[in-house]
Amino acid sequence: MTRMTRGVPAGRDARAGQFCGPTVNRQEAAARTRESLLDAGVRLARTTGLAGLSVNRIVEEAGVSKGAFFHHFPDRASYLLVLHRDFHDRILAEARAVLGDAQPGADRLLRATRTYLDACLRERGVRSLLLEARAEPVTAAEVRARNAQNSATCEEDFTAMGWAHPYAAAQLWVGMAAEAALLEFDAGKRVKALRAALARYIDADPKAIGG
In the chain, beta strands by DSSP E = 4-5, 8-9
Q: What is the pTM of this model?
A: 0.77
- 177 burial (CB, 10 Å; 0-12 / 13-18 / 19+) is buried
Q: What is the pLDDT of residues 117-175, one digit of tens each?
A: 998 888 767 777 777 777 778 788 888 999 999 999 999 999 999 999 999 999 999 99
Closest C-alpha to 53, from 30, 71, 77: 77
Quick one: which H or E segment has residue 11? none
Q: Determine contact, residues 94/73, Cβ cutoff 8 Å.
A: no
Closest C-alpha to 73, from 56, 61, 55: 55
According to DSSP, residue 179 is labeled H
In DSSP notation, 100-138 reads TTPPSSHHHHHHHHHHHHHHHHH-TTHHHHHTGGGT-HH
Residue numbers in the chain where pLDDT is lower than 70: 1-24, 124
CATH class of 12-73: mainly alpha
